[in-house]
Every structure is written in structure tokens, then in C-alpha cells.
Structure 1
């Protein structure tokens, strides 16, 4: 967890050039506070900004290198995953652990990588949204990351 804190301190939003609908609304004067995640469009914004950051991290980018058609499938599944958790849409049909087991075989999903992934997720979420749903996606990501990290990196 200490690495997450160090990573967050060392990476600022200005470094990533984040595009945010919520920030645009604040600049235009239509809102003075950050909005919570409201719909699929907000989830798409979050996921796309998050992976923009991931692809700029030398330690994480190799994990997510794949053919374009696989990339689009991955993004859709991630969006569906979060949409289902937040709005109970039934749009996600499972298989998350299996996909990550396969990724771990190609590029070891180390504790350091999990911590960087979580730090970027927290930074991205906090740069775009504030509220119960934003807190939920951070909490759920932390829970999932801890479970996966324990499975992949336990010394048994």
C-alpha cells in the first residue's frame, strides 16, 4: 500500500492531460462541484482515461499490449463490468479471474503492478468524479486487486 501512496504523490493529473466532461462543466460554470458517476457515458470516460494513463506507464503498458480487436473487446468488457456493478444492468457476463490468470502467464502481475494499477485507478477516478459511486469503484477495485494479488503473489 505504501507504493500506492508514493505513486500518487509522484504523479499529478497535469502530467496525463486528462479530458473530463465534469471538468468542462465546471470550467463553463454549469457546476461548482465534481459530479458523481451517473451513467454508462461516465464509466466510458473513466475507463478510457484510466487506460490512457496505463499506456503511459512503462511497467504497466506491456500487460495491456494486444491486437486492436482484442483491445476493443477488453474495453467493452471493463465498461460492462463497472456498469453492472454500479447500475445492475446485467451487461457483464463474467470471466474476470480467468482473463487475469492468462495475463499473469504472459506478464507477471506483480504486487508492484497491482499497486500502480490501483493508484492510477484512484487518481483517474478522483480527477473525474466525487460521490458514492466514485468511492464505490475505488473500493471495489481495491478489493479485487487485493484478492488477485494474493492469488498471484502469495508465497505458499
Structure 2
């Protein structure tokens, strides 16, 4: 069986570099930092898990077995309006760490995943009539 080629031209080292740089910025971000800090006590362990997530999504590695939608739903402090700042910070990290064509390809994938997560969070926190559900 032949391994699938990566979705685009990045290596596992590129993924690790982006993830580490991104979470360094997240920890300093006034809006996102507290949301993440409320759930993450072991940053290196979390970053390694996210490296596995992206390696699975981009390189087709099979080392990630989590459920990002359920994690975001269970967090209970993730709101739909947080996705734009998250994606903006991620895009900035991509531009700083990668070549333009790599950054553009990864950004497209991240935005697609972000739309799915946002829809899952909105669906969970709002009724069909658009009225927020109170937990």
C-alpha cells in the first residue's frame, strides 16, 4: 500500500514549528489566552496533540484520535465569536513561519475546519430560531 502524498508542501517539522509559535502567541493573547488557559495545564502535551492533529490532516499520519468538535463543545467557554480572532492569529503565524504558498494552502484548510467547528459550536449554543440556549 502506497502512502498518500501530503495535501500540500509542509513537513512534520514545519507543523511543529507553526504549532509552537501559534500557542506562544495564544498564551499572550488577551482574549484567547484565558480561554485556552482554563483548560490546558500541560502546554507541551497539548501542543504535541495538536501537532498530531495537523500531521493527520495534512500528512495523513494516523497518530491523532481526538474529537475537536466535542472538545470545543465540552469546554463551555468557547463562543462562535472567538473563531475569527483564532483564525487571524493562526494566519499570522502561518505567514511568519512558512513560505507564502505553504501559508495559503494551510490557511485554506484551517478556515474550512474553523467553519465546521464554528457551526458545531453555534448549533450547540443556539436553537433553530437563533436564540441562544442558556446552559
1:52 is matched with 24
TM superposition score normalised by structure 2: 0.75
CA distance in 2, matches of 1:74, 1:130: 25
CA distance in 2, matches of 1:143, 1:133: 16
**Secondary structure class of the residue paired with 1:147:** helix
Higher relative contact order (CA 8 A, sep 6+): 1
1:89 is matched with 61
1:124 aligns with 2:93: yes
Structure 2 residues without counterparts, runs of 5 or longer: 1-7, 129-135
Deviation for aligned residue 1:73: 2.7
TM superposition score normalised by structure 1: 0.66
2:116 is matched with 147
Structure 1 residues without counterparts, runs of 5 or longer: 1-35
**Secondary structure class of the residue paired with 1:90:** coil
User: Are the counterparts in 2 of residues 37 and 131 from structure 1 also a CA contact under 8 Å?
Assistant: no
After superposition, residues 2-151 of structure 1 pair within 5 angstroms as: 38-65=10-37, 66-68=40-42, 71-103=43-75, 105=76, 107=77, 109-130=78-99, 132-151=101-120
CA distance in 2, matches of 1:38, 1:48: 15
**Secondary structure class of the residue paired with 1:85:** helix
Pair 134,91 (structure 1): closer, same or farther in 2 beyond 3 Å: farther
**Secondary structure class of the residue paired with 2:31:** coil
CA distance in 2, matches of 1:98, 1:152: 9
CA RMSD of aligned residues (A): 2.0
**Secondary structure class of the residue paired with 2:63:** coil
CA distance in 1, matches of 2:15, 2:33: 21
Pair 78,88 (structure 1): closer, same or farther in 2 beyond 3 Å: same
